[in-house]
Structure 1
Amino acid sequence: MEWPALPLKDGNLLGFGTGTAWYKHDPSDPPNPELVKVLKAALFKGFVHIDTADSYGTEREVGTAIKESGIPRDKLFITTKVLDGWRDVPAALRKSLERLQLHYVDLYLLHNPYVIPTTEDLQNAWKGLEAVKAAGLARSIGVSNFQRQHLEAVLEVGTEVPALNQLELHPYLQRADDFVPWMRENGVEVSSFKTLSPITVAAGGPLDPVLTSIASNHKTAVSTVLLSWAIGHNIVPITTTSSSARMDEYIAAIALKLSAKEEEEITQVGLQHHFRWWGKKFFGQDDRS
């Protein structure tokens, strides 16, 4: 199967994540054999984009799974992120690469602007990401959980434009004030986590019957429909599961082509309801930005 990609970063439009709660553990603990098993299963199913972060405590498992899979490095797309190490990004990435057993990552993200005290600190952290790209330790660099003001601060001083912003995005949180078009106008692509929220943490909303009907028409799963909706908008969804059957559902989203009417119905019904899972303390109750 030919997996679609975003040309600017050669990144596949579907990623397998490792940020789920049961994966997380103290980095000093031995590697989690169950996670290694799940990751190898995902790789053998055909996932080539694996998403991790230093704060997840799962980089060693990703590295072990890659090594044990035998899949050539150049066939994979590996994303990781820096959180607490923002003050010395090169040192943080070297530690991540050691845990991943890799010489470079395909995409390195500044994980969370809200842990960085000042705009100047944020800009200096971004310069650290530019340094690791220049050193060949990261093929592409980007950000995660950034709002417009954070991106504007980076664009003000950066010699590199963030390749991508990974943030919560789904039909119930499509981001207000033309944020997604604005990012793309400035050369920043979009990746989503919690893409399946309408059928998981936000189930029971107005999209339930819509998604069920569309899935029935295509003889597929509702998760496949939601991921296809994201991919149809050139968004890179990051999702995960320990179930082999669920992996098949997710991969099926690559081949599923929703009609323009179906995509628009999901979009418009989704706009009728608001739900945010990540970072609620940073936003007002009705803030859709």
Structure 2
Amino acid sequence: MATIDWPTVPLKDGVLVPILGFGTGTAWYKDDPNDPFNPELVLVLKAALAKGLIHLDAADSYGTEREVGVAIKESGIPRDKLFVTTKVLEGWRDAPKALKESLERLQLDYVDLNCLRGHRLTKAAGLTRAIGVSNFQRHHLEAILKTCTEPPALNQLEYHPYLQRSDNYVPWMQQKGIQVSSFKTLAPVTVAPGGPLDAVLSSIAVKHATTPDAVLLSWAIGKTVVPITTTSKGERMDEYLSAVALKLSPQEQEDITKVGLERHFRWWGKAFFKPDDRS
């Protein structure tokens, strides 16, 4: 396994989250969690782990927890050297039961981060080191903060230069002690190419002898946001890892932020938002 001095983001309870995560949604997502076991995903995950990508992201709704568990077991990497996130989405009505079922599929005694609703009991049972939520809007969090005994430590949501979230939402969460993790961080080059950022990203990538993908990941990291991304290709894994060491200048960060605001694009949950809603 490659040894990487991982930068981390601290959660309010002291848990340290590696700044880059390797996801198992999107391309690996199963329409039915009971679909056949995918040995190809196990090989991809083992390759990612071997390269040092120790932060793995899963969810009960992805249908990939079994593959994550097998990959971890076959990698031979000690459990305490890994950071494993899962999300209880399908089983939110009984979160403790759902998390226990996830742990069975993962072949683990605990996860490092569990993102769901109704999360207090799962942490009390010692099944996760930290609790979080996923795809929560500001009004959701405001309601939770008024009543909860333990606030969520992290919110995982879509975040990229074309969806920077309006009303200062990301800085507001960080000020409240809620860290932010992002999915679809590479949207400007993967699912929304041809926009105003193309030339900016290309120019910055050339300057740093890297790729637009690495520049986007570095931009998110520079915002103290933990991006989650995935690939089946080893060279792309190397590209993602290079983003951890890539340091953009303040001007480059600002250029991406400013130009990104010229376009609005949302990949997830379009049915829930009006076309011009940037929240």
Relative to the length of structure 2, the TM-score reads 0.96
Alpha-carbon distance between aligned partners in 2 of 1:27 and 1:282, rounded to the nearest angstrom? 24
Name 1:85's counterpart in structure 2: 91
% identical aligned pairs = 70
Moved more, 80-89 or 236-245: 80-89
Name 1:120's counterpart in structure 2: none
Relative to the length of structure 1, the TM-score reads 0.92
- How far the C-alpha of 1:26 sits from its partner, in A, is 3.2
Which letter maps to 1:206?
P
Asked if structure 2 preserves the Cα contact closer than 8 Å seen for 1:23 and 1:35, the reply is no
Which among 187, 190, 197 is matched to residue 187 of structure 2? 197
* 1:26-46: CA deviation from partner (whole Å, max 9, x where unpaired): 333442100000000000010
Alpha-carbon distance between aligned partners in 1 of 2:94 and 2:28, rounded to the nearest angstrom? 29
Residue 102 (str. 1) matches residue 108 (str. 2): yes
Alpha-carbon distance between aligned partners in 2 of 1:211 and 1:159, rounded to the nearest angstrom? 43
Secondary structure of 2:129's partner?
A: strand
Name 2:77's counterpart in structure 1: 71
Alpha-carbon distance between aligned partners in 1 of 2:168 and 2:240, rounded to the nearest angstrom? 28
Pairwise CA RMSD: 1.0
Correspondences of 1:133-282 after superposition (within 5 Å): 133-282=123-272
Asked if structure 2 preserves the Cα contact closer than 8 Å seen for 1:4 and 1:12, the reply is yes
- How far the C-alpha of 1:181 sits from its partner, in A, is 1.4
Name 1:36's counterpart in structure 2: 42
Alpha-carbon distance between aligned partners in 2 of 1:208 and 1:54, rounded to the nearest angstrom? 35
Alpha-carbon distance between aligned partners in 2 of 1:232 and 1:185, rounded to the nearest angstrom? 16
Asked if structure 1 preserves the Cα contact closer than 8 Å seen for 2:28 and 2:62, the reply is no
Asked if structure 2 preserves the Cα contact closer than 8 Å seen for 1:107 and 1:140, the reply is yes
Which letter maps to 1:84?
E
Q: Which residues of structure 2 form unaligned runs of 5+? A: none
Tell me which stretches of 4 or more aligned residues in structure 1 moved more than 6 Å. Answer: none
* 1:138-194: CA deviation from partner (whole Å, max 9, x where unpaired): 100000000011111211221111110000000000000011111112111100000
Asked if structure 1 preserves the Cα contact closer than 8 Å seen for 2:35 and 2:63, the reply is no
Q: Which residues of structure 1 form unaligned runs of 5+? A: 111-124
Asked if structure 1 preserves the Cα contact closer than 8 Å seen for 2:28 and 2:64, the reply is no
- How far the C-alpha of 1:23 sits from its partner, in A, is 4.2
Asked if structure 2 preserves the Cα contact closer than 8 Å seen for 1:25 and 1:58, the reply is no
- How far the C-alpha of 1:202 sits from its partner, in A, is 0.5
Secondary structure of 1:11's partner?
A: strand
Kindly tell me: are residues 25 and 283 of structure 1, through their superposed partners in 2, closer, same or farther at Cα, counting changes over 3 Å? Answer: closer
